Structure 1
Amino acid sequence: MKIVMQSIKLFAVIVLFWTQHLFAQPLDVTNDQSLYDNFTLGYLLDANSSLTIDEVARTPFAKRHTNRFALGYQKGTLWFELSIHNQSAFEEFILTLNEHFYEKANLYYHEKGEWHQKHLGFFTPIAAREIKNSNLSFALTQPKGTTRTYYLELQGKYAYFGDIALYEKSYFYYDKHLDSHAFFIFMLGILTLIVLSNLFLYLQIREKIYLYYVGYSFFNFLYLLNISGLLVYVNLQTYTYSLQLSAAYMVAFLILFSREYLQTRTSFKLAHTLLGGIVYAFLVVGILVLFSYTPWNKIINNLSGLANVLLIIISLVLYRKGHIQTKYYIASIVVFFAFVVLFTAMVTGLLPYNNVTRYGFIAGLGVEAVVFLLILANRYNRIKKEHESYLEAQIAARTHDLQEVNTRLATLVEERELLLREVYHRVKNNFHMILGMFWFESKKEHANQAQFNELTNRIKAMSMIHEHLYTSLDLTSISLKSYLEKIIHNIISGYKISIAIHSHIEEHTIDFDHAVSLGIILNEIITNALKHNQLTPHFALDIEMTQKKERFFITVKDNGAGFDPTQNTQSLGLALVEQFCKKLHNSHYTFSFDRGTTFLLEFTA
C-alpha cells in the first residue's frame, strides 16, 4: 500500500512537471509576424496582495489561459508569466493589455542578476508613460536570439479581463493609428448629433420625451467617454470613478423616456409607478457612487439589468395589448440587452473575451440610440402633420365663421342702407312739407317775399343733401360737383335777374357733415351776392372749387358793388357762414373787394 501511494505521488509530480513545461513553452517571435495575439500564458492569483517578485518567480504558475482573458471579479493581485524567445531580426517590441482601467500594471523581468521593473497604471499621466497611449502598454527591448521571462502584475477595482498582445514596435504605431479609439470616437460623434437634433426638436414642440432623450444621450456620451480611456489624453482620468454616475443617470433617463414613449401613465399604471421608483433609486445611487466606487458600481450594474428586463417585459405586454408602435422599441432594447448580457457574462468570467463580448454592448447602445432617434423623428413628423391638419381645420372653421359673419354683416349693411334711404326720404319729404308751408305763407298779404326766399333756399340746401343721399349708391360720401351745382341752380332760379354763371367745380367726394356745412355756406354767399346786385348790369358770378393735396379751396367771386361785412354784423347770413365754417376742419375764410366781392374758403377734408 505504501509503495502504491509513493507511486501515485511520483506520477502526480511527473504530470505536474510535464504539464508546466508543456504549456509553459516560450512565445517564439519570428520574422513572419508583427503581431502576436493568440498564445497562452500562466497566471497566478495573490489573494492577499502580499507576494514579492522573488516569491512570485519561485511559485509555479499552474494555471494557464489564452492571452485574451476574462477571470471575473477577484480579490487581490493577478500575476501573469510570459516567456518570449526572440528569433526575429527585431529587438524593439511593445507589450499591451488593450485595456486602460487597471490602477496598477507593473512589468518585471530579471537580467544580469537583478530585477528590472516598469511601473504603470491608469492614473499615470500620459506624459509619464513610455507609450503615449491610453491602453496600458510597455516598451520591451530584447536582444536577438535570447529568451526572457516577464511577469505582469495587475490590480484594480473592476473585474479582471483584457487582451495581452505583443507587437513589433513599428507595427504597433501603424496599427494603433488605424484603429485607436476610432470606434469610441465614432459613437461619441453620433451621440453628439443625437443630443443636438433632439434638443432642437424639444425646442420646436416642447414635449418632455425629447428632453428625456437629450438627457439619456448626454449621459450616454459621458459614459462612453469615461470607459473609452480618452480621458487619459487630457489627464482627467482621476474623475473616472466619479463619472460612473453617468451610467446610473443614463439608465434613469432611459426609463423616463420609455415611460413617455410607452405611455405607461395611462396604459400600464402599475408599471409606471414601479419604473418611477427605480428612477429615484438610480438618482440616489448615482450620487452615492461619488463617495464610494464600491459597492455602488455593482449595484448600478445590477439595477441596470433589472431595469432592462422590466422595460422589455412591459413593452411586450403593451405590444400584446395592441400597441403596435412598440415593436421598434422592443427590437432595439432587446438587441442592446442581449449584448449587455454577453458583456456581463464575459466580465464575470462565464464567457471568453473577444470583440463581441467586450464591445458588443457599445454597438448595441449605438443601435438603440439610432432607433430611438428615428422613432422620435417619426413622432415629430407625425405631430407636425397633426398640427398642420389641426391648423387647416381651424382655418377652414374660422373661414366658414367669417363667411357667415360677412354674410350677416352684408345683410345688416343692406338693411341699414334701406333704413337710411327711408330716413333720408322722409327727411326730404318733411323739408318739402316745410317749404310748402313757407310758400303758402309767402302768398299772404304783407308777406316779405325776400325773407321767405332766403329762408326757402336755406332749407332747400339742407333738403338737397338728403335727396342726394336717398338717390345715391354711396351713403357715406357726397359728390361735391353734382351737389353744389344743384344748389347753385336752385338759388339762381329763385331770382328774376340776368346773370352769367361761370363754375369750375372739380369732381371730389366729401362726407355728409362737411357737405351740409358747405351747402349752407355757399347758399348764403351766392344769395347775398344776388340780393345786393339785382340792379347791377351784366352781373357775373364765378364759382370755383379745387383741391391741393388734402386742402380744399372754394372761391365765389362777383363783379357787383360789394359790401362791407363790418357793417353787417347783425346779418343772419354772415353769422351762418361763420358758424358753419367752424364745423370744417382747419378752415379759414376771407372777403376781399377788388372790383366786386371775392369770398375765399379753405379747409381740410
Structure 2
Amino acid sequence: MVNTPNNIDLLPHSKIYHDIGNKETINSIFKKNDKFITTNKKVIDYCILAPESVWIKFKLHNPTSSHIKKIISFENIFLEEIELYKIENQKIVSKKTTGFYHLKSFEGTVKLNVPVILNPNTTQDYYLHVKNEKLSLWFKPIIHDPKEFKKEDTAKQVIWALFFGGILSLVLYNIFLFIFTRDKIYLYYFLYLIATLMQSEFSSYIRFYFLPMDDIEFVKKSLYFNLFYINVFVTFTMTLFIRYFLNTKLYPKIDLSLKLIIFIIPIYYILQTFNIFTIPQVILFQFLTPYYYFGIGIYALYKKNPQAKFFLLGWSFALLAWLSLFFKFLGLIPEKYVFTYTFETLIMAEVILFAISLAYRIKILEKKKNDLTKSLLIQQQNESNRLEKIVTIRTQELNNELKQNELLLKELHHRVKNNMQFITSLYALKLNDNGDKYIQEKLHDVERKIHAMSIVHQMLYNQKNLVTIDAKEYFEKVLQNIKDSFELENITFELDINSFLDTEEAIYCGLIVNELVTNAIKHAFDSKGGIIKISLNSVDNGTLLEVSDNGRGKSANTKASFGEMMVESLATDQLEGKLQIVVDKGTHISLWFKNKNQKSNDESNDS
C-alpha cells in the first residue's frame, strides 16, 4: 500500500529477474514469470561489466478514494535506460522511459526518477526494466512521496553545490598563486582540480544544463569520453603535480617512471581513438597507479622529504575516494555500506590538505630566506671586509623579495576572505530556499565557522602587521556575528582579553570560541538567561583561553557532539594545548597552550 508519506524500499516488496545479455523484451518476459525470485536486498549491485539488465515485478495498492502520486527514484545517474510498464491482463497500458541516455536537459532534479499516479481503490501491476550495456549495474529503487523526494533532491543539490564551490574557490586560489609566483606546482595543482571537477557526477548535470543533449549517440560519446579520457586525465595531472610536489628529481629512477607515465598517456589518447582499450583495462590502470604513487610517498618519507607527510595524508584521502568510486561503479561493495557523499567528502579533504601544504611551502621558503640571512651574517663576521658589499646587495634583494611576498600574502588574504564570503553567500541563498529547520541550523553553524575564519583574513588585509592580530578586536567581531545569528534575551557577555595571537592560533581559537559560545547559547540557559565569560591572557609562558557560563551545566553522560570533538581536536592536535572542563554552577572550559615563539624556543632547546 502506498498511502503513506514515508519512503518505501521497492525491492523487498518485489520479484526480480536478472537478464544477462539484455535478451528479453516486455512481451517475452511475460512468459518467464516462474523465473522471477524474491529478494531481501534493498540494492541491485551486479558487477560483470557486460550487457545486462534487471526486470522488477511489483504491485502498488491505493486503498483510498483519491488519486495518489508517487515517485520512484534511482540513486545512480549512470543507468543507461529505465523503462516502467503499467500492465493489465498481460497487456501494456502505458510506458515511461528515463535514464542517462534519455536526459535531454537538466529538469531541476539530480536523481533519476519516474512518476507514478495511482487511481482510487485500485491495485496496479508494474514491470520495471533497468539496463546497462557497459558499466556495472547498481541502483536502489525507492518509492517517495513527492514532497519528501523534493526535499532529499534539494539537499543533494546543496551538497554538490558546496563541493563544486569549494573546489572552484581552490581553483581560483591556485591560479592566482601561479600568476603571482610563476611556480609550476600551482599550475599543475590547478589542472588537477579542474580534472577532479570534470570527473564528478555534478559535472554531468552541468553539461546537461548548458548543453541540452537531444542526440542519444552524442550522450553515449559523452559518457565514453568521461570514462576513457577524463579519468585518465586525472592521473596525468596528478603525475605532473607529484613530480614537483615531492621533487622526484632527487630520486632518478622514480622520476624516470613518472616521466614515462606522462609520455605514455598522450599515446594512449591517440590509440584510444581506434577503440583499442576496454573499460576493464582502463579501470585496472586507474586502480594500480594510485597505489604506485602512494608507494612513492612512502619512499619519499623514508628519505626524509619534508613534503612527504603532507602528500601521504592527502593522497590517502584521494586513494579512498577513488576506491569508493570504483567499488561503487563496479558493485564490489554493497551500496548500503557506502556513505552517499563519500567521494565528494574525501576529495574535498584531500584538496584542502594539499592547499594547506602548498601554503606551508611559502613558509618553508621564508625559513630558507631567514637561514640564508643568518649564514650571510656569520660570513660577514669572518670576512667582513670582503663580504660587506655582498651582504648589502643580497640584503636589498631579500628586502625586495620580502615586499613582494608581503604583497602576495596580503592579496592572498583578500582572495581567501572573498572566497569565504562567496561560500557564506551560497549558504545564505540555500537557507532562504530550504524550510527544514534542522538543515537550516546545521548550515548556520557552518556559516558561523566560515565567518570566524574569514574575520582573521579581513583583519590581516586591513593592517600592516601580517603575523599577529589583536585578540580582543577579533573575539568581539566573532561574538557580534554570533549575536546576529540568535535572538538573545537576558544573555550578557563579559570579556577579559589582553593578548595578541598568531594568525594560525587566532583561527583555531576563533573556531573554539565560536563553538563553545554557540553551545552555551543553545543549551546552557533557560528563559532567565545568564552570563558568558571569555578571557584570554598570557600565563606561564603560554596563553590561557577560558570560556565559562553560569548555566545548567553540561551533563556527564551526554554523548560528545561533532562540535565538541572538533574543539578537542583543535585544542590538543593543532594548538598542542591542555583542555580542561569543569562543571560546577555552570560550565567552565579552559585551554592553555604555548604560543608560537615559546614552541620555537622549546624545539631549539630539544635539538
Give yes or no for TM over 0.5: yes
1:225 positional shift: 5.3
Give the letter for the 1:121 counterpart: G
* Structure 2 residue matching 1:73: 3-state secondary structure: coil
CA, structure 1 residues 211+235, in 2 after alignment: closer, same or farther (shift >3 Å)? closer
Structure 1's unaligned 5+ residue stretches are 1-27, 406-605
Distance 1:386 1:394 in 2: 12
Find out whether 1:75 has 2:50 as its counterpart: yes
| 2:315–2:350 CA contact under 8 A, matched in 1 | yes
Instruction: Tell me the equivalent position of 1:37.
Output: 9
Find out whether 1:122 has 2:100 as its counterpart: yes
Match 2:152 to one of 167, 175, 186: 175
Give the letter for the 1:48 counterpart: G
Instruction: Quote the sequence identity (%).
Output: 18
Distance 1:230 1:48 in 2: 32
Match 1:52 to one of 25, 32, 55: 25
Displaced runs of 4 or more, over 6 A: 391-399, 402-405
Distance 1:263 1:249 in 2: 21
Give the letter for the 1:94 counterpart: I
Worse-superposed segment, 385-394 or 152-161:
385-394
Find out whether 1:314 has 2:325 as its counterpart: no
| 1:315–1:326 CA contact under 8 A, matched in 2 | yes
Find out whether 1:274 has 2:257 as its counterpart: yes
Instruction: Tell me the equivalent position of 1:345.
Output: 327
Distance 1:351 1:37 in 2: 19
| 2:43–2:336 CA contact under 8 A, matched in 1 | yes
CA, structure 1 residues 225+92, in 2 after alignment: closer, same or farther (shift >3 Å)? closer
After superposition, give the CA deviation of every residue in 1:56-77 in whole Å (9 maximum; x if it has no partner).
1331212636232211134333
| 1:249–1:286 CA contact under 8 A, matched in 2 | no
CA, structure 1 residues 380+354, in 2 after alignment: closer, same or farther (shift >3 Å)? farther
After superposition, give the CA deviation of every residue in 1:317-346 in whole Å (9 maximum; x if it has no partner).
221232353122112212332343344334
Instruction: Tell me the equivalent position of 2:68.
Output: 91
Instruction: Tell me the equivalent position of 2:350.
Output: 368
Distance 1:371 1:174 in 2: 32
| 1:332–1:371 CA contact under 8 A, matched in 2 | yes
CA, structure 1 residues 134+288, in 2 after alignment: closer, same or farther (shift >3 Å)? farther
1:49 positional shift: 2.3
| 1:44–1:80 CA contact under 8 A, matched in 2 | yes
Find out whether 1:66 has 2:41 as its counterpart: yes
CA, structure 1 residues 169+146, in 2 after alignment: closer, same or farther (shift >3 Å)? same
CA, structure 1 residues 185+211, in 2 after alignment: closer, same or farther (shift >3 Å)? same
Find out whether 1:164 has 2:141 as its counterpart: yes
* Structure 1 residue matching 2:232: 3-state secondary structure: helix
CA, structure 1 residues 218+247, in 2 after alignment: closer, same or farther (shift >3 Å)? same
Distance 1:307 1:164 in 2: 34
Distance 1:404 1:174 in 2: 67
Distance 1:43 1:404 in 2: 83
| 1:202–1:210 CA contact under 8 A, matched in 2 | yes
Instruction: Tell me the equivalent position of 2:598.
Output: none
Match 1:146 to one of 92, 109, 122: 122
CA, structure 1 residues 295+100, in 2 after alignment: closer, same or farther (shift >3 Å)? farther
Instruction: Tell me the equivalent position of 1:300.
Output: 282
After superposition, give the CA deviation of every residue in 1:541-587 in whole Å (9 maximum; x if it has no partner).
xxxxxxxxxxxxxxxxxxxxxxxxxxxxxxxxxxxxxxxxxxxxxxx
Instruction: Tell me the equivalent position of 1:328.
Output: 310
After superposition, give the CA deviation of every residue in 1:424-482 in whole Å (9 maximum; x if it has no partner).
xxxxxxxxxxxxxxxxxxxxxxxxxxxxxxxxxxxxxxxxxxxxxxxxxxxxxxxxxxx
CA, structure 1 residues 386+141, in 2 after alignment: closer, same or farther (shift >3 Å)? same
CA, structure 1 residues 249+210, in 2 after alignment: closer, same or farther (shift >3 Å)? same
Any residues of structure 2 matched to 1:355-504 within 5 Å, and which? Answer: 356=338, 359-384=341-366, 386-387=368-369, 400-401=388-389
| 1:97–1:163 CA contact under 8 A, matched in 2 | yes
Aligned residue pairs, count:
372
1:104 positional shift: 1.7
Match 2:83 to one of 93, 106, 110: 106
CA, structure 1 residues 118+312, in 2 after alignment: closer, same or farther (shift >3 Å)? same
| 1:343–1:358 CA contact under 8 A, matched in 2 | no
Instruction: Tell me the equivalent position of 1:546.
Output: none
Distance 2:268 2:340 in 1: 25
Give the letter for the 1:36 counterpart: I
Distance 1:176 1:281 in 2: 41
CA, structure 1 residues 35+301, in 2 after alignment: closer, same or farther (shift >3 Å)? same
| 1:289–1:297 CA contact under 8 A, matched in 2 | no
Distance 2:49 2:85 in 1: 22
Distance 2:102 2:392 in 1: 80
Distance 2:390 2:310 in 1: 45
1:352 positional shift: 0.4
Distance 2:91 2:149 in 1: 29
